[in-house]
Every structure is written in structure tokens, then in C-alpha cells.
């Protein structure tokens, strides 16, 4: 599906070149006065678990194990407000696009410059005037990086906790990244699904299969997203109308479903992650997004 990935890059880069708000669309611009548009992450393991089509999928795929990880932090690459269900990707109001680089060859997310935030952290804080007047019903957020803790087992009875860093953006340039005390040198681009795993006993890296990362999109029939991207789509809890005359901040809690979002190839059917027994991550996609307008 390389052509879809290239199409995605072409559309987004073209839109950015024609956007007049580039100088202000940074995660935090404290210079500008007036009301702000603030987006915060929330990680919810009890939120409904969705599949890639945005439909409830409580069951785990056959041959997989799954658990709800405990999130430490997350970064986003792109944010767009869409007026309605037929608004195509890139034709809404793009309020944020993270830095990219060609150091690794093709254009990719620059992990070194990505803003990582914890639970309730602001991943976007910009002047509300950067969002054009209008009414918006949907939010799209391209997720880039996750860091979370999971449970795993080695030997018959030794249950431990480890930390996973997973890169779920379309392509990411990584010079190096850290997981707790372990430093991983990469110095190159890595496709969606690249991960690192760190424990007290050892550290490892690997990649999920192309297309294996779940990216919920309830608008798949009217407004699809390219394969290989991680543009998650969610309906705002209430339509957001912006007039340009606002005097107060608009705060949106971007609630992400982490309900059994970490999946691995399950060998013996006990639903316990056992990496030293040959089990490995296969899907690290978020399982739904609900943007809650405060």
C-alpha cells in the first residue's frame, strides 16, 4: 500500500505549504493573547474497544493475547477538525502538524522534536483564533508515539512488569530513544509498528507487520484515511461552534481507549505475554477516541 502512504504525505505536505497559520500552530504558543484551544490526552482502559472501522470489538482476534497497558505518555503528529462526516482528510481545519525531517531519506515524523505528554497533559495549546469560525462535529488526531507498562512472564511463575515504547505514526525518524535506563540507537526511519521493550533483565526491539496497527475510523465509508497512517477519528461529544468572538478557552479532553490495546501472538493460550517463549507484539493501536468538549 505504498501508494496510499505517498498520497497521504503529498496531501498533508501540500496543505501545509498553503496554510497561512503555520507560524502559530505549535503545541504551545504563550506569546499570543486571547482565548486558547487546548487539547488534553486521557487514557481510559474502560472505554469501548473499537476495531479499525470504528465498530465495537470486545473480542480479541484468534491467536492473539491482549491486555490493557498502563500508559505513561503519548505524542501526536497532526490534528484536524472536520465539519461533518463527509469532510475528507485534509479538507477540515488543520490546527497542528508536528515537525518532520528527511534525515532518514523519505519525509518522516521527527521523534526528537515530538511533544510527549502524560495523562491529562496538554498536547496542543494554541490561540483559538487558529481554528476558523464554523461548526465542527469530528476530530482527527494522528498519533505518533506511545510509552506504557505491561505485564509479562518468564519461566513458569515469575511475573514481571516491563515498558514498551511503540512508534505508530506512518513513518518516524529516530536518532535514539530511551526506555527507563536503556538507550536504543536507531539513526534512521522506522515504519509504523516499530517497538522497543525494556525490563530489568533485558531489552529488545522489533516491528509489527505492516497494516497490523489498529486505527479506528467510524467514517471509513465517507471519509477514509490512508493505510499505514495512524489518523484516529472521533465524533465530538457535542458540536463545536466557533464564532471568532469567544472570550474563554475551549478545552477538549481527547479520551483514548486503551482497552486491550496491546496485543501479542499468543502461543499457549494462557493470555499471558511470554516474550522468551516466542511471543511478540502484533498490534499496539489505540482502540477508539472520544473528544469530550468541556
pLDDT digits (tens, 9 = 90+) for 115-174: 999 999 999 999 999 999 999 999 999 999 999 999 999 988 899 999 999 999 999 999
Look up residue 50 and give its DSSP letter: B
- pLDDT reading at 94 higher than 80: yes
Count of Cβ atoms closer than 10 Å to residue 99 Cβ: 14
Longest dimension (CA), the chain: 63
List beta partners, residue 243. none
SS3 at position 201: coil
pTM for the full predicted model? 0.87
Q: 198: exposed, middle or buried (C-beta count within 10 Å: 0-12, 13-18, 19+)?
A: buried
Kindly report, residue by residue over 202-215, the tens digit of the pLDDT: 999 999 999 999 99
Cα 259 to Cα 277: distance, rounded to the nearest angstrom? 25
Per-residue burial over 24-62, b if 16 or more Cβ lie within 10 Å, else e, is ebbbeeeeeeeebbbbbbbbbbebebbbbebeebeebee
Domains contained in the chain, number: 1
CA pair distance 210, 275, nearest whole angstrom? 20
- State the CB neighbour count (10 A cutoff) for residue 224: 14
* Mean pLDDT of all residues belonging to the chain: 91
Q: Given CA atoms 216, 219, 221, 225 in this order, what sign does their dihedral have?
A: negative
DSSP state of 266: -
Rounded Cα–Cα distance for residues 85 and 83 (Å): 7
Q: DSSP assignment, residue 132?
A: P
Do residues 259 and 56 touch, judged by C-beta distance below 8 A? no
For residue 9, the surrounding DSSP H or E stretch is: helix 2-17
What is the domain range of residue 211? 2-293
Q: What is the DSSP letter of 211?
A: T
Contact call for residues 291 and 256 (beta carbons, < 8 A): no
Q: What is the pLDDT of residues 221-275, one digit of tens each?
A: 999 999 889 999 999 999 999 999 999 999 999 999 999 999 999 999 999 999 9
Sign of the dihedral through C-alpha 276, 230, 3, 57: positive
The closest of 16, 67, 53 to 271, measured between CA atoms, is 67
pLDDT of residue 157: 87
pLDDT value, residue 159: 96
CB 160 within 8 A of CB 154: yes
Residue with grid cell 515530538, as numbered in its chain: 114
Amino acid at each position: 500500500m505504498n501508494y496510499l502512504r505517498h498520497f497521504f504525505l503529498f496531501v498533508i505536505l501540500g496543505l501545509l505549504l498553503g496554510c497561512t497559520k503555520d507560524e502559530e500552530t505549535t503545541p504551545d504558543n504563550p506569546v499570543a493573547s486571547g482565548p486558547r484551544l487546548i487539547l488534553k490526552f486521557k487514557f481510559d482502559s474502560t472505554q469501548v474497544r473499537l476495531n479499525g472501522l470504528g465498530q465495537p470489538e470486545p473480542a480479541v482476534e484468534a491467536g492473539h493475547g491482549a491486555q490493557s497497558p498502563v500508559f505513561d505518555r503519548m505524542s501526536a503528529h497532526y490534528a484536524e477538525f472536520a465539519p461533518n462526516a463527509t469532510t475528507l482528510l485534509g479538507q477540515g481545519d488543520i490546527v497542528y502538524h508536528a515537525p518532520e525531517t528527511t534525515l532518514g531519506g523519505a519525509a518522516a515524523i521527527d521523534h526528537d522534536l515530538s511533544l510527549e505528554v502524560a495523562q491529562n497533559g496538554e498536547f496542543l495549546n494554541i490561540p483559538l483564533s487558529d481554528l476558523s469560525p464554523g461548526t465542527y462535529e469530528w476530530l482527527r488526531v494522528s498519533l505518533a508515539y506511545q510509552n506504557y507498562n505491561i505485564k509479562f512472564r518468564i519461566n513458569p511463575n515469575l511475573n514481571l512488569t516491563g515498558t514498551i515504547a511503540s512508534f505508530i505514526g506512518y513513518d518516524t525518524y529516530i536518532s535514539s530513544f530511551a526506555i527507563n535506563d536503556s538507550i536504543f540507537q536507531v539513526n534512521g526511519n522506522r515504519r509504523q509498528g516499530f517497538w522497543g521493550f525494556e525490563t530489568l533483565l533485558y531489552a529488545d526491539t522489533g516491528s509489527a507487520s505492516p497494516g497490523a496497527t489498529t486505527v479506528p475510523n467510524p467514517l471509513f465509508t465517507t471519509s477514509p484515511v490512508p493505510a499505514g497512517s495512524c489518523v484516529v477519528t472521533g465524533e465530538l461529544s457535542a458540536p463545536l461552534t466557533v464564532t471568532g468572538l469567544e472570550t474563554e478557552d475551549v478545552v477538549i479532553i481527547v479520551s483514548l481507549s486503551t482497552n486491550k490495546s496491546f496485543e501479542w501472538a499468543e502461543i499457549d493460550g494462557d493470555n499471558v505475554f511470554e516474550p522468551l517463549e516466542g511471543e511478540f507484539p502484533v498490534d499496539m493501536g489505540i482502540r477508539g477516541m472520544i473528544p469530550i468538549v468541556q
